[in-house]
Amino acid sequence: MDIDLNLIFKKAELNQRVILDIEPLSPVSMVSDIPGSHYKTAIIPSKFHICGLFENILGWHIGAKDRREILNFLKNTYKKNFKINLEPAKSNSGYEPLVHHLFDFDKEGVIIHPSKIHFDDLWKKAFRRVDASVHPKGTPNIDHNLIKVKRSLPRKADKPDQIDDKAFENLFKENIGKFPFYYTTLASREYILAQGSWQIPLQIDNDFLTLIQLSLGENSVSYMGTNDSWIEINIITL
């Protein structure tokens, strides 16, 4: 799919005031910082969450390397064409949005919260490593040709029911293509179960607003914070 990013290189004019209405369709978890053992949710979406939401709606699913190149070009464009030092934003979790400069919170508006309860649940994280036995230990499936080989590997001296870590690591390194691309591990994550909507006042560039509204005309359902946090979006112009 071709993605037209020309809009982000134009000089942003935050000349429209709108209310972003976000209605949760499922429990929502919005984590901004790099967590420890517990992923605690924010009580309202941060600007980075809204950036991610807008990019999801637009279908701008772009990898980290390409993002850095685009943002460097954006910074140079603003410097050359508009004499503005635009520093690309980066969240504590490493996310680098492409639309951070195209809107902002309206400081004159009031954020409305839905009624909500908080709860913790187990959440499965996906990782990839090629230098340790952590990866093969975290994958429930392997190529069927490796099952007998895995069962014949040496065992730990003090835990004979477990495979020796080094032997498992060597098997993995020699047969990477026969293991799943990611391994998974569990973490505790906090969710919000909400009734009602967040209503967040924004100032937004008019051309960007038009692009968002066109996308919402085709699909107003997306996710925010994590890919199981489904929400319905509506934009109310003021």
Q: State the chain's mean pLDDT as an integer.
A: 92
pLDDT digits (tens, 9 = 90+) for 75-94: 999 999 999 999 999 998 88
Backbone angles phi, psi at 234, to 5 degrees: -140, 140
Strand-strand pairing, 183-195 and 38-39: parallel
Domain range summary for the chain, segments of one domain joined by +: 10-59+102-119+187-237, 129-181
Determine the number of helices (DSSP H) and then strands (DSSP E) in the chain.
Answer: 6, 8
Q: What is the DSSP string of 81-119?
A: HH----PPP--TTS---SSGGGEEE-TTS-PBPPEEEEE
Task: Write the burial class of residue 214 (CB in 10 Å: 0-12 exposed, 13-18 middle, 19+ buried).
Answer: exposed
Task: Write the burial class of residue 72 (CB in 10 Å: 0-12 exposed, 13-18 middle, 19+ buried).
Answer: exposed
Q: Are 98 and 70 in contact (CB under 8 A)?
A: yes
CA distances, 70 to each of 5, 52, 82, 204, 215 (Å): 9, 16, 17, 21, 22
In angstroms, rounded to a whole number, what is the distance separating the alpha carbons of residues 11 and 83? 11
Write down the residue that tokens 């490593």 correspond to. Answer: 129
CA distances, 7 to each of 88, 154, 208, 211, 220 (Å): 16, 59, 7, 9, 21
Residue 127 has pLDDT above 90, yes or no: no
Q: Are 150 and 162 in contact (CB under 8 A)?
A: no
Residue 1 has pLDDT above 70, yes or no: no
CATH of the domain spanning 10-59+102-119+187-237, picked from 3.10.450, 3.30.70, 3.30.960, 2.60.40: 3.30.70
Average pLDDT on 40-65 reads 94
Q: 134-153: string of b/e by CB count within 10 Å (b at 16+)?
A: ebbebeeebeeebeeebeee
pLDDT digits (tens, 9 = 90+) for 145-198: 999 999 999 999 899 898 999 999 999 999 999 999 999 888 899 999 999 999
Could you tell me which residues come within 8 angstroms of residue 31 by beta carbon, excluding any fewer than 6 positions away? 39, 40, 41, 42, 93, 189, 225, 226
pTM for the full predicted model: 0.84
- Please report which confidence band the pLDDT of residue 234 belongs to, taking 50, 70 and 90 as the band edges: very high
